[in-house]
Amino acid sequence: MTEAASTPDLAGDAWKSSSTPDLGRTTALLKAGALQNAILTSANFSIIATDEKGIIQLFNVGAERMLGYRAGEVVNRISPSDIHDPQEVMARARDLSLELATPIAPGFEALAFKASREIEDIYELTYICKDGSRFPAIVSITALRDDHGDIIGYLLIGTDNSVRKRVESELTEAMAAAEKANRAKSDFLSGMSHELRTPLNAILGFAQLLETGSPAPTASQRRQIDQILKAGWYLLELINEILDLALIESGKLTLSEEPVSLGEVMLECRAMIEPQARKRGISMTFPRLETPLFVRADRTRVKQILINLLFNAVKYNKPGGAVSVDCAMTPAGFFRISVRDTGAGLSPEQLAQLLQPFNRLGKEAGTEEGTGIGLVMTKRLVELMGGAIGADSAVGTGSAFWVELKKADVPQFAGREADIASQARGTVPEGTPLRTLLYVEDNPANLELVEQLVARRPDLRMLSAADGSLGIEYARAYQPEVILMDINLPGISGIEAMKVLRAEPSTAHIPIIALSANAVPHDIQKALEAGFFDYLTKPIKVSRFMDALDAALAPAHAAPVREDTKETS
């Protein structure tokens, strides 16, 4: 016993003499082993390892759970491509062959090709389970190499992608439904606009005829006509604003950005607003622009924005007040156009509610009519063109509304548009021979209105056709100098009739002007691109109508000088 006790315990002494480093190494090995075991037994993701030939050598618990196979059923038996959708395997081989200009055989080679070139590949695939069911997965594949750099196998780590795919599918369906709803909304708005504009065309058209007819209306009749026109144009303004706002909200409003001359637009806006200001005893001052200033924007919408601000400055001003317009460059490279009035001004609470739709800030009970959406639409338009809008105001001192628009370089041929416009708007020379206008329209009121307008032109006679097919026959037989074409006709549409006439050599030269109650900008643009010479919207503006005829009847059919085809707020 004593002898055994005296025998040295070499293993124990050795362990004791180096216990600290050996303990750390053993702990690290145990920890690494635990981590490795946790990874291999994890049920949250599949781990599949193959040999260099692509035959499965390792199939972890996660792979068993996802695919329904036991490891013993696949190890040393099959390749990962055998549990992968064969159509996807073929497609992957085809794509790799095209990408690398090298034939790639379908199967595991196609799955592992990039990984073999030390490029980790992550791709989506469809796994096929033991019971035949399928599920989408995202798989990362990496080549495994020995100490000499030779490939000894491949590691595939996969996760179930079913939830993300389901969310994507639901999102796609929701987007499709939203797009369908937007299309339905646009179609409804287009139809609503057409249906409302058609009766308005007769109301406003005949009221304008009465206003300027012979003999002149009596004072009492003139007051009545003024009320009809005032109510009609206000209703048209409301229709246009609601339509525009809906188009903006649905993302359907199209803008054409180009260099726009601020001087020209201000001159046009001034000509429209100043007469109204004079009636109210309000003075207006505009900046003198010594050099041409251009902004990058949609010309029609810039004009609409400025008219809205100027009209509000006049409408909500005090009698005998003033409106001043200023233009200055900002440090950020924008032009700021400010419209200042001397009206009652706005409180901080009113300023905070300024851009809420249909909120007239307590003006509903006043004598001034309004829709409450003009400024909301102005803000949307400015922002769509990359600009900004704001206001400063104080009760009792008035308000200043400003918009900032991106500066544009002066175009090379600035001013040429004005020359073309002046030529296109020339008066009818004396002795001009009688020319024929064909109007294709099925609405009797519209026919009568245009007939009375044309009667004021001694150089024109009018023929009418009640549908597109008859209009085509009349155009062939009578060879009119200009055609007015309604869009919504019984039988073939105005666009189809126009295309037939454009395709025939005997009628291809005749300028065709669309005259329609459809005022949706996208539809107008499509009609012009289809081949119409010009596009007039109902209700007819008499001056615009006459200008379009002059342009169409001018030598060589001068391109029309198009203004906004709709009323601005």
- Which one is predicted more confidently, 484 or 256? 484
Tell me what pLDDT residue 355 has: 66
Rounded Cα gap, residues 504 and 502, in angstroms: 6
Tell me what pLDDT residue 489 has: 86
Using one digit for the tens of pLDDT, what is the confidence trace for 58-95?
A: 999 999 999 999 999 999 999 998 998 988 888 888 88
Give the end of a domain, one of 145, 160, 175: 160
Distances (CA, A) of 123 to 43, 140, 156, 226, 392: 21, 7, 11, 72, 56
The answer to which of 49-53, 68-72, 419-423, 564-568 has the lowest mean pLDDT is 419-423
Rounded Cα gap, residues 258 and 298, in angstroms: 6
- CA nearest neighbour of 410 among 295, 269, 288, 297: 295
Q: Are residues 154 and 129 in the same domain?
A: yes
**What CATH number is associated with residue 459?**
3.40.50.2300
Q: 173 pLDDT band (50/70/90 cuts)?
A: confident
pLDDT at 491 > cutoff 70: yes
Tell me what pLDDT residue 24 has: 62
pLDDT at 113 > cutoff 70: yes
Tell me what pLDDT residue 356 has: 63
Helix (H), strand (E) at residue 248: helix 219-249
Tell whether 126 is covered by a domain.
yes
Q: Residue 513 corresponds to which tokens in the numbers above?
A: 């002007």
Tell me what pLDDT residue 17 has: 41
Q: Are residues 394 and 432 in the same domain?
A: no
Q: Are residues 82 and 154 in the same domain?
A: yes
Q: Are residues 384 and 268 in the same domain?
A: yes
Q: Return mean pLDDT, the chain.
A: 79
Q: 49 pLDDT band (50/70/90 cuts)?
A: very high
Tell whether 10 is covered by a domain.
yes
Q: Are residues 310 and 450 in the same domain?
A: no
Using one digit for the tens of pLDDT, what is the confidence trace for 438-458?
A: 999 888 778 888 888 888 888
Averaged pLDDT, 424-437: 62
Averaged pLDDT, 363-370: 48
Tell me what pLDDT residue 19 has: 45
Using one digit for the tens of pLDDT, what is the confidence trace for 223-268?
A: 888 888 877 776 776 677 667 766 676 666 667 788 888 888 888 7
Tell whether 172 is covered by a domain.
no
Give the end of a domain, one of 368, 385, 414: 414
Rounded Cα gap, residues 361 and 350, in angstroms: 6
**Is residue 105 within 8 Å of 114, Cβ to Cβ?**
no
The answer to which of 21-35, 151-165, 239-253, 288-302 has the lowest mean pLDDT is 21-35
Give the end of a domain, one of 381, 414, 447: 414
Tell me what pLDDT residue 215 has: 84
Give the 3-state secondary structure of residue 48.
strand
Rounded to 10 degrees, the C-alpha dihedral 482/193/308/397 comes to 150
Q: Are residues 261 and 410 in the same domain?
A: yes
Tell whether 234 is covered by a domain.
no
Tell whether 189 is covered by a domain.
no
Residue with tokens 């009323």: 567
Rounded Cα gap, residues 151 and 318, in angstroms: 88
Tell me what pLDDT residue 193 has: 65
Tell whether 375 is covered by a domain.
yes
Q: Can you give the residue range of the structural domain that contains 463?
A: 422-553
Tell whether 303 is covered by a domain.
yes
pLDDT at 190 > cutoff 80: no
Tell me what pLDDT residue 207 has: 83
Q: Are residues 347 and 452 in the same domain?
A: no
The answer to which of 28-37, 125-134, 165-174, 523-532 has the lowest mean pLDDT is 28-37
Q: Are residues 339 and 361 in the same domain?
A: yes
pLDDT at 1 > cutoff 70: no
- Which one is predicted more confidently, 564 or 211? 211
Which percentage of the chain shows pLDDT scores above 90?
A: 22
Number of domains in the chain: 4
Tell me what pLDDT residue 525 has: 87
Residue with tokens 């799955």: 111
| C-alpha count within 13 angstroms, C-beta hemisphere, residue 569 | 22
Chain centre to alpha carbon of residue 455: 42
**Number of residues that this document lists for the chain:** 569
Q: Are residues 505 and 542 in the same domain?
A: yes
- CA nearest neighbour of 345 among 363, 357, 328, 325: 363
Tell me what pLDDT residue 358 has: 45
Rounded Cα gap, residues 155 and 91, in angstroms: 22
**What CATH number is associated with residue 90?**
3.30.450.20
Q: 387 pLDDT band (50/70/90 cuts)?
A: very high
**What CATH number is associated with residue 309?**
3.30.565.10
Q: Are residues 134 and 270 in the same domain?
A: no
Tell me what pLDDT residue 557 has: 54
Tell me what pLDDT residue 13 has: 42
Q: Are residues 57 and 1 in the same domain?
A: no
Considering only the C-alpha atoms of the chain, give the largest distance between any 2 of them, rounded to a whole number of Å: 148
Q: Are residues 395 and 454 in the same domain?
A: no
Tell whether 560 is covered by a domain.
no
